[in-house]
């Protein structure tokens, strides 16, 4: 599904954000990216989306070499990789329905398909009753669910979530995670960058830990930090 081969990224100011990353993420996986700020999580996501160019290496989305995609085909990548942000990025002068529909409009979807699909997606994220509301009439959790609905409306096989629970209280964060788990259960591959230690520890999904631009741990059913065996002695 997604494969990174010897990927490095160095910015113009000399900062090396990623160094020789080799990584494969399979269809239908739920993967957490963890690490301190500046570890390389956001850069990795931007490279997959081709918001940034690799300095070295190759990135494959299925059989497509993302690193060789010309600018005119970047919208094709964006249709295949949905993105959820920490700050929602909703259009304030559009309703919930219109925000979600807009993602279909910009890729040229048929109006009939838009009218059919938007209510269905709003139902998945439990926002059917909020379709006519504007963003400032919603709670933070509801706004994030609109963002999720917008990101999956074009049925992308991959969803990247960058700190989607970062601004939310614990109970609302759990609601967002339930929505993401439901979407993952429908077959969407999810890559979630997070500092939410409790969520990672509770869910026991695949965890990829980054530090100084390098993968230091790739663990199935992992936790936020590597568990160190107890050294306590018993007599």
| pTM, to two decimals | 0.89
pLDDT of residue 108: 86
Inside any domain, residue 13: no
pLDDT of residue 230: 45
| Total of domains in the chain | 1
Q: Provide φ and ψ at 217, rounded to 5°.
A: -160, 135
Inside any domain, residue 89: yes
| DSSP structure string for 189-230 | EEEEE---HHHHHHH--EEEEEETTEEEEEETT--SSPPPPP
Inter-residue contact 215 to 225 (CB < 8 Å): no
Kindly list the averaged pLDDT for each block of 10 residues, start to end, along the chain of length 235: 95 93 96 92 91 94 90 82 88 96 90 96 94 96 94 93 90 92 94 94 96 96 74 45
Structural domain harbouring 164: 26-38+79-219
Inside any domain, residue 117: yes
Inside any domain, residue 186: yes
Inside any domain, residue 205: yes
What strands, in cross-sheet order, belong to the sheet with 81-84? 81-84, 158-162, 189-193, 30-34, 206-211, 214-219
Inside any domain, residue 203: yes
Inside any domain, residue 43: no
CATH assignment at residue 96: 3.40.50.300
63 CB burial (10 A radius; 0-12, 13-18, 19+): exposed
CB atoms within 10 A of CB 185: 10
């Amino acid at each position: 599904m997604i494969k990174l081969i010897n990927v490095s990224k160095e910015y113009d100011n000399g900062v090396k954000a990623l160094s020789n990353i080799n990584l494969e993420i399979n269809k239908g996986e739920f993967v957490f990216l963890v690490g301190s700020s500046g570890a390389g999580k956001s850069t990795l996501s931007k490279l997959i989306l081709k918001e940034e160019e690799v300095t070295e290496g190759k990135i494959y989305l299925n059989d497509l070499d993302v690193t060789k995609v010309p600018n005119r085909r970047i919208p094709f990548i964006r249709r295949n990789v949905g993105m959820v942000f920490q700050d929602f990025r909703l259009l304030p002068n559009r309703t919930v329905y219109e925000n979600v529909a807009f993602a279909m409009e910009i890729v040229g979807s048929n109006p009939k398909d838009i009218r059919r699909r938007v209510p269905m997606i709003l139902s998945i994220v439990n926002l059917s009753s909020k379709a006519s509301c504007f963003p400032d009439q919603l709670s933070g959790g509801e706004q994030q669910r609109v963002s999720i609905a917008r990101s999956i409306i074009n049925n992308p096989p991959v969803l990247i979530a960058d700190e989607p629970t970062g601004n939310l209280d614990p109970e609302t964060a759990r609601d967002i995670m339930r929505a993401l788990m439901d979407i993952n259960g429908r077959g969407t591959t999810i890559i979630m960058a997070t500092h939410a230690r409790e969520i990672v520890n509770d869910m026991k999904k695949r965890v990829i830990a980054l530090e100084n631009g390098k993968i230091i741990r790739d663990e199935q059913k992992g936790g936020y930090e590597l568990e160190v065996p107890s050294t306590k002695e018993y007599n």
